[in-house]
Amino acid sequence: MSSLRSHDDTWDIATSVGSTAVMVAAARARETRRDAPLIRDPFAQILVDGAGTGVWEYLLDDGFVAKVAGAGDEGAEVAQVIEHMGNYQAVRTHFFDDFYATAAAAGIRQVVILASGLDSRAYRLDWPAGTVVYEIDQPKVLEYKAARLAEHGATPTAERREVPVDLRVDWPAALRAAGFDPAASTAWLAEGLLMYLPADAQDLLFERVTELSAPGSRIAVETVGVHSEERRARMRAKFDALMQKFSGEFGTDLAQPMDVAELMYNDPDRADVDAWLDGHGWTASSVTSEAVMRDLDRWVLTEETDEDSFSEFVVAERR
């Protein structure tokens, strides 16, 4: 269980789970700057710039990453991991962008993004006419995103409807109140979400999605592997030591970075997503994130890794 979470905790864009959305947006901003990006998100930098000070500043600083890479073997290892993390985010975004393009081509015009955070797909994807995108997240997170993008004249490319509600309460009622039609086929997305839910909440989430999904609906999910406590402790100690070193050398505040792992639920009772969906009226398939990263030539780690440390991307269609 996470030591920093409770059943009724809340957050804005600068705290707790909310701050992880800024780091993901920073990864999209960095990817967008590449010569041959997998995805283009012109809004990511805008969203990061308004979020204040945080570790995401260093992730976006090419000079800092270059300094780390040049600081001996340990520095080279940290720089490699930073690059790999950014590649993962780009590959993940690319995969789920394709999911929505395929759903739209199949005629689906109702979209729900669960725990949408700083997701900008309602603004940056080329949605067919008549598409309605529902974004569900904490009220302060949605307020920040809408206000920040409005300040810069951004307008959605689909009809965007906010559903400011915690996914741990009766969010289906709030979604229906916002105009959601359970009789229409829907394309659902659970990206960067499951690791912040305990096992029972994950089951309840998919039960509710299933109840709201007409035949032909589709869902895409990023799963999370269950890591051993020993492995988590070993990796935490390793990075703490490295960050202490670079803090002193480069004058950063990375000596006390936010421990994202402490925001997650490392729950051994978590259901296997594709098996759960297959058993509850869906036809599911999955692919490991490693396989997708290698297919897109974005895998950079050179050391051996255990399979449980990587996610799977699951897609399913409602029977």
Segment 228-245 mean pLDDT: 63
Sheet with 218-222, strands from edge to edge, namely 159-164, 132-137, 110-114, 186-190, 218-222, 312-318, 282-288
C-alpha 27, offset from chain centre: 11
One-character DSSP codes across 29-43: HHHHTSSS-S---TT
The answer to whether 315 and 99 are in contact (CB under 8 A) is yes
N-to-C CA span, the chain: 34
Other Cβ atoms within 10 Å of 131 Cβ, number: 22
| pLDDT tens by residue, 141-155 | 999 999 999 999 999
Beta strand 312-318 with 218-222 is: antiparallel
The answer to whether 22 and 56 are in contact (CB under 8 A) is yes
| pLDDT tens by residue, 276-294 | 999 999 999 999 999 999 9
Beta-bridge partners for 215: none
Lowest-confidence segment of 67-71, 166-170, 221-225, 238-242 by average pLDDT: 238-242
Angstrom distance (rounded) from CA 15 to CA 12: 6
Q: Domains of the chain (ranges plus CATH)?
A: 17-318 (3.40.50.150)
